[in-house]
Amino acid sequence: MIKAIIVDDEPYCCETLSTLLTRYCPDVMISEICYNGASALKAIEVNRPDLLFLDIEMPQMNGFQLLEKLPELNFELIFTTSYDQYAIKAIRLSALDYLLKPIDREELQKAVQKVTQRLKKPLPQQLDILLKNLHQPSSSLNKIAIPTMEGLLMIHVDSIINCISERNYTILILKNKQKVIASRTLKEIEEMLEDYSFTRVHHSHVVNLNEVEKYVKGEGGYLLMSNGTTVDVSRSRKEALLQKLQPGRS
């Protein structure tokens, strides 16, 4: 059984999530429901949960402030939140899980299934990346958390040359000639990197503009990257790319 604590200041949301877990996630046992951050801190210390469902927006102490007060992150974590682009961006960059309210049954089951498969402590770096991203612009951060089949890799953003779609996975090409297979789609990786100097140039390719050595003309053309490889540019994305390569271009 997965021992879980729900933290949310809205009783209705707690009741809804509790009902969904009871009906559709029988492996989850709810140890306690907390309606504020202070009571959650005590419950976490006493119950030592395997999983925390954590609301972000709460009065007096929000979800992120609660995490900052914990001495260690020794449980799985799923955020529950209404749509907040800034908060979700921070969560994505740290590779932590989240559910949008109102919580969908299938999305909940998928999130719990991932927890069941992992059942390991999240890396401390995930929380570090999350909290740093909340306190400063994401473009000033130099690391993101990339999920792989083996676990999480903390990768320097400027070490990525380009990203290649491989069905439901993405291959990251790094400067040290290393290739990393991320268990995320190219669209998800693109969203993680959109605040940096990355852009989609083809349905299968996202590139680091700082690593482009040359653009070669053609119907769509292609890019010569700093590692000597070439990346095709789709005709539909050519103009947007040229605008980024030549900001003053009219």
Which DSSP state fits 76? Answer: E
* Chain position carrying tokens 């309210």: 101
- CA-based Rg of the chain, rounded to a whole angstrom? 21
Q: What angle do CA 228, 232, 237 make, to 5 degrees?
A: 130
Read off φ and ψ for residue 198, nearest 5 degrees.
Answer: -115, 150
- Of residues 247 and 165, more confidence is placed in 165
- pLDDT for 15 equals 96
Query: Which pairing describes strands 198-202 and 28-34: parallel, antiparallel, or unpaired?
Result: unpaired
Tell me the percentage of the chain whose pLDDT exceeds 90. Answer: 62
pLDDT digits (tens, 9 = 90+) for 170-209: 999 999 889 999 988 999 899 889 888 999 999 999 999 9
pLDDT digits (tens, 9 = 90+) for 12-23: 999 999 999 999
Q: Of the given ranges (12-26, 62-76, 206-220), which has the lowest mean pLDDT?
A: 62-76
Provide the whole-model pTM. 0.66
Partners of residue 145 on adjacent β-strands:
154
Q: Tell me how far apart the alpha carbons of residues 48 and 36 are, in angstroms, rounded to a whole number.
A: 17
Query: Which pairing describes strands 169-174 and 160-166: parallel, antiparallel, or unpaired?
Result: antiparallel
